[in-house]
Amino acid sequence: AQVLGIRGVLVQTGKFLPGDLAKVPAAPDDVLATIADLPKLLDAS
């Protein structure tokens, strides 16, 4: 997403493991514990 100039958001659910964040090629702009937090994030933008 970031390569295209799009905001990247990582959601820490499903298959996410604590070490996964260090493995992503580009750090996400935001990290959410659950997708339910997305509306709050979007409202804050």
Q: How far apart are CA 25 and CA 21, in angstroms?
A: 9
> How many domains are there within the chain?
1
> The domain containing residue 30 runs over which residues?
2-44
What pLDDT is recorded for position 34? Answer: 94
* pLDDT tens-place values along the chain, 45 residues long: 778 889 889 898 888 888 888 888 888 899 999 999 999 999 998
Q: Which residues pair with 10 in a beta bridge?
A: 31
What pLDDT is recorded for position 22? Answer: 86
DSSP, res 7: P
